[in-house]
Amino acid sequence: MEFKVAVVVVFWAATAAATSEELRLEADQPLQRVPISHDATVRCCFRWKKRPQVTWIMNIQTINHTTVPRAVDLSQRVKHAPAEEKHEIKCHKLVLSSVRLEDTGLYQCMLNHSTLLTFSHGTFLQVFIPLQKTLNLSESVKNSILTAEGVLLLLCVLFPGTVLLCKTRRLNELQRRKGREEENIYEGLNLDDCTSEYHQIQRRCRHDPYEDVAS
């Protein structure tokens, strides 16, 4: 009895392995970002001679960072498009019209055929709300603003440089005037007269103490 069970298990494993070798999953689009209220199309493609039963699964991320898989509810807004086959590649599509924020999640195809049950790689659909423009400006107004900014930037660069040049000129002029005044002071002086007066002062300082004693 145990031998028969072992034979059945080995036969089932060999069949599953042969079936899985025939199945080749194609690369899915990892991420798809769609604005709210727009249409989105998620697809899964594979190579397989057999025709498995395809069920779309949506994985929702919970607060605890765990994923909860559930079957996609088909409706007028969410439809399973007919399969397409090209070069032995079969592609199944899931069309979502007017997507909502709750449509965000990881979408996978569950392929089920006899003893084989597998999932496609999956596509994460992210639904976002686009940013609204606070100011709706035309291109001409934008160009005018850019031109004004360029002029202001140029003035901010030129004004400090001009002030610095003016200060440098003033300092140079003051130094020149100071040098001229010093030259004018020493022009009227005669060095010989200054020397003779200096000697006379020294002589007076030498003779004054003796004159006091004699008196």
DSSP string covering 88-156: TEEEEEEEESS--GGG-EEEEEEEEETTEEEE---EEEEEEPPPPPSS---HHHHHHHHHHHHHHHHHH
Band (113; pLDDT cuts 50, 70, 90)? confident
User: 23-128 belongs to which CATH class?
Assistant: mainly beta
Higher pLDDT, 204 or 150: 150
Which token pair is 87?
């070069």
Which token pair is 59?
């994985």
Query: What's the length of the chain?
Result: 215
Higher pLDDT, 173 or 124: 124
- Residue 81 DSSP label: E
Contact predicate 84/73, CB 8 Å? no
Which token pair is 212?
């006091």
pLDDT computed for residue 100 by the predictor:
93
pLDDT computed for residue 7 by the predictor:
34
- 52, 47, 53: which is closest to 24 by C-alpha? 47
pLDDT computed for residue 104 by the predictor:
92
